[in-house]
Structure 1
Amino acid sequence: MVEQDKTSKSTFSAGRASKVERLTISDIAEELGVSKTTVSRAISGKGRIGRETVQRVMECIEKHNYNPNSFLRGLASLKTYNVGVAFPADDNVRNTPFFQRCLLGVCEVAAALNYDVVVTTVKENDINLLKRLVENKKVDGIILTRNLTNDMATAYLKQREMPFLLIGSSEDDTIVQIDNNHMEACEKLTSLLLADGVKRIALIAGDLNHMVNRFRCEGYFNALRRYGISIEQDMIFSDCNSAVFVEQAVRYILKRQSECIVCTDDVICGRVLSMLLEEGYVIPRDIKVASFYDSIYLETNNPPVTAIGFKAEELGTVAGKRLIDLIEGTSSRYKTILDYEIHLRRST
C-alpha cells in the first residue's frame, strides 16, 4: 500500500512537485476526474482501459516531470485494487446459497469502492490456489469464508502478513472476524422448542472440523443443560456430509421415536425433509423439524420450516468494507457480531 503524504495533494495540484516520492495515484485520479483503479490500470497496462484514457494519464504524469516507465509502474504494482474471496472446495458448497449470497455482498461493496473481486477455493489440506493468488500479487487482501480447526489458510496468510479477515469465528483474537452469534442463536431456538414441551430433540450436524458447526452444536447442548435434560449421545449425529449419512441418521432417530429433528444447516435439513416425505411421515404431526440455518427452500417448504435467519449478504457487505479498510489502513482489528432472527414456522 502506498501512503499519501499529507502535503502531496496541494504540492501536486500547484505543479511544484519535484520528488518522485510525492506522487500518488490518488493525485492523478483527482486531477483527471477518474478513479484510482483506472489510473492504476492505465499505468500497469492491465485491464480494459481506453487508449484515450491511458494517453490522458501519461500526459498528466509527463506534465509534472515524472517518469512513468519506471517509478509509476512500480507504484502501480504495489496495489492491484482486487480483493480475493476464498470459498471451501466442498461438494456441498455449489448447492449452498449462503456462499453465493456472501459473494453478492462482497461484490456490491467492492464495486462501490472501485475494487474488483477474485474468487478462489481452498481445501482442508490444500491451499495452493490461495497461495497462487497471494504469491503472484493478484490481490491486495483476502476474505476467508470458513474457519477450520488448525486452519492452514489463516496460518499462511498471517505468515505472509497479507491483509485478510474471516467470515466466521476463531479463537485467535488477532484475526479480524465478521460473524453471527451462532451459539446464542442455536441455544435460543432449542430452548424455545423445549419450552413448548418438546423433550426428545435429535441433532444432525455437519462436519465438526468446521468451527461454525461446533458453535451451533454447543448452543444445542447449552439449552439442554439449562433445562436439566441429559445429553443422549445416541441422539446426536455429527459429520453427516452426505445424503447416505443423513438417511442413516434419520432412520435411527425414527426408531428411537424422537419428537423433533434439528439440523445444523439447510442442506442437511433439506435431505431430512426428503427422507421423511419418502417414508410417509407428516410434519409436524408425526415429527417436528427445525434448522439452525434458514434458506428460501425451507421458507417455501410445505410446511415452512422453523429456522434461524442469518443475513449472508450483510456478512459479505460488512466483510468487504472491513477488508478494504484494512488494506487502506483505516480499520482497527476487532470482531464484529451481526444480528440474527428466529423464524418460528409450522414445522414445529
Structure 2
Amino acid sequence: MSNRLHNSAFTMDDIAEQLGLSKSTVSRALSDSGRISNATKEKVQKFAKEHGFKPNLVARALAGQKTLNLAVVMPLEATALQMMFFHECLSGIVTKASEKGYSALVCMTGHKDVNILESALENRKIDAAILTQLKHDDKNVKLLEKSGLPFVVIGSGAGKNAIHVDSRMKENCADFTVECALRVQNGSHILFVCASLDVEANNNRLSGFLSGMESEKIKSKNLQYAVCTEACDMADEISLKEWNLILCSDDVVCMQVLDILNQKGIEAGKDVKIASFHDSVLLQTHVPAISALKVDAFSLGEKSSELALKAVNGEECENMNYVDCSFAMRSSTE
C-alpha cells in the first residue's frame, strides 16, 4: 500500500487506485449517490473513514452548484410549549444533515408572512426545505412548488407531489380514542377539545377522534360525545355537563384544560379522566401523570432530513413515510 495513504495529501485518486474504481465512482459513493450500489458505497466510505479522508465539501458544492443548506421552516407564532416539539424535530434534522456535510437554515415564518423563506429561495441559499408544520392552503407549499426545489412535509395533507413524514396521525388518534373510551362506563360523556383547525395536524386528530368514536369496539357502550374547536369556548364547554373523559388535541390544549379543571375544583384523574393526542414532559411530570400519544419528534426530523437529501441527489422517495408512535397510558385515565 502506498505511503501516500497515510499523509495529508491523501485524495480520491488514491482511493480509486487502491480499490480499483474510477474517480467518478468514488466521488458518487462518497456523496451517497443513488446511482451507486450500497455495497460499493459501504466499501468506499469505510475505506475513506479508516484512512481519515474527508472530502472538500466546499469544492463539491461549487462543482455541483449546491449550497449545502437545508431550510427548516418553523412557525413564528408557536408557543414556548409547542417549540419543544419543533426543537426536537430540528435536532433530528441537524443530526442527519450534518452527516452529509449539510447545515440547517431556520426560517421562522407565519401563515401570512413567508418573506424569510422567499428570500432564501430568491437568493439560492438552499437546496431543499423541510416544513415542520402544515397549514390549510399553506403558502409555503405553493412557494416551494413554484421554486422547483425538493421539500419534505412533517405530517400529511400537502398533496401527492409532496414528500411526507408522518406518525400515522389519524389511525393512531383513532386507536388511542378507543383505548381511552374503553376505560369509561357505558353511557359516559366524552369531550374532545381541539386546537386551531387551520393547522392540518389538528384536522387529522379530529378525524381520528371521530373515527375512533364510531369504532365497533365501543359502539355498544352507548357513549355520547361533543367537540370543542374554539379555545374561547373551552371553559363553557367544560361547565356544560359532567364529562367523564376529556381528550385534548395536543399538550398545549391539555395544559389549558387542566388549568380550567383546577379553577373549577374538578380533579383530573378522579372526577374526570383526561388524555392528550400529543405528549410532552409537562404531561409526564403532571400530578396525576397524563395519558398521551408519544410521537418521536427527533425521528420525524431525522427521517425528513434523510429524505430531503435523497431528493436533492435525485433519488426516488415515497410520497408517504412513517415513524413509530406509541401509547403512554398513565394515571389520568385509570
Query: If the TM-score is normalised by the length of the shorter chain, which range does it land in?
Result: 0.7 to 0.9
Query: 1:250 offset after TM fit, Å?
Result: 3.0
User: In structure 1, how many angstroms separate the alpha carbons of the residues matched to 2:249 and 2:319?
Assistant: 27
Question: Does structure 2 conserve the Cα–Cα contact (< 8 Å) formed by 1:25 and 1:40?
Answer: no
Q: Provide closer, same or farther for how the CA distance between residues 292 and 13 of structure 1 changes in structure 2, counting only shifts above 3 A.
A: closer
User: In structure 2, how many angstroms separate the alpha carbons of the residues matched to 1:283 and 1:230?
Assistant: 20
1:206-251 Cα deviation digits (max 9, x unpaired):
111111101111111112222345765xx311143xxxx2xx4134
Farther-moved stretch of structure 1 (29-38 vs 168-177): 29-38
1:37 pairs, out of 57, 66, 81, with 57
Q: Within 5 Å, give how 1:134-153 maps onto structure 2.
A: 134-153=121-140
TM-score (norm 2): 0.79
Alignment partner of 1:347: what SS? helix
2:213 pairs, out of 224, 227, 238, with 224
Q: Provide closer, same or farther for how the CA distance between residues 289 and 33 of structure 1 changes in structure 2, counting only shifts above 3 A.
A: same
1:157-183 Cα deviation digits (max 9, x unpaired):
111111111011015111100001111
Q: Report the residue type matching 1:236 in the other structure.
A: V
* Shift >6 Å, 4+ stretches: 24-32
1:132 pairs, out of 112, 116, 119, with 119
Q: Report the residue type matching 1:150 in the other structure.
A: D
Q: Provide closer, same or farther for how the CA distance between residues 36 and 321 of structure 1 changes in structure 2, counting only shifts above 3 A.
A: farther
1:43-70 Cα deviation digits (max 9, x unpaired):
xxxxxxxxxxxxxxxxxxxxxxxxxxxx
Gaps of 5+ in 1: 1-8, 15-21, 42-72
Question: Does structure 2 conserve the Cα–Cα contact (< 8 Å) formed by 1:178 and 1:318?
Answer: yes
TM-score (norm 1): 0.76
Q: Provide closer, same or farther for how the CA distance between residues 328 and 116 of structure 1 changes in structure 2, counting only shifts above 3 A.
A: same
Question: Does structure 2 conserve the Cα–Cα contact (< 8 Å) formed by 1:309 and 1:340?
Answer: yes
1:249-275 Cα deviation digits (max 9, x unpaired):
134323311111111000111121122
2:196 matched residue in structure 1:
207
1:267-307 Cα deviation digits (max 9, x unpaired):
11112112222332222111111000011110111110010
Instruction: Give aligned-pair identity as a percent.
Output: 24
1:160 matched residue in structure 2:
147
2:310 matched residue in structure 1:
325
1:237 to 2:235 alignment = no
Q: CA RMSD in A?
A: 2.9
1:15-49 Cα deviation digits (max 9, x unpaired):
xxxxxxx9x987999899433424358xxxxxxxx
User: In structure 2, how many angstroms separate the alpha carbons of the residues matched to 1:261 and 1:189?
Assistant: 13
Question: Does structure 1 conserve the Cα–Cα contact (< 8 Å) formed by 2:289 and 2:331?
Answer: yes
Q: Within 5 Å, give how 1:285-324 maps onto structure 2.
A: 285-324=270-309
User: In structure 1, how many angstroms separate the alpha carbons of the residues matched to 2:313 and 2:30?
Assistant: 18
Q: Provide closer, same or farther for how the CA distance between residues 239 and 320 of structure 1 changes in structure 2, counting only shifts above 3 A.
A: farther
1:259 matched residue in structure 2:
244
Q: Provide closer, same or farther for how the CA distance between residues 239 and 134 of structure 1 changes in structure 2, counting only shifts above 3 A.
A: farther
Gaps of 5+ in 2: 1-11, 18-23, 32-47
Q: Report the residue type matching 1:131 in the other structure.
A: E
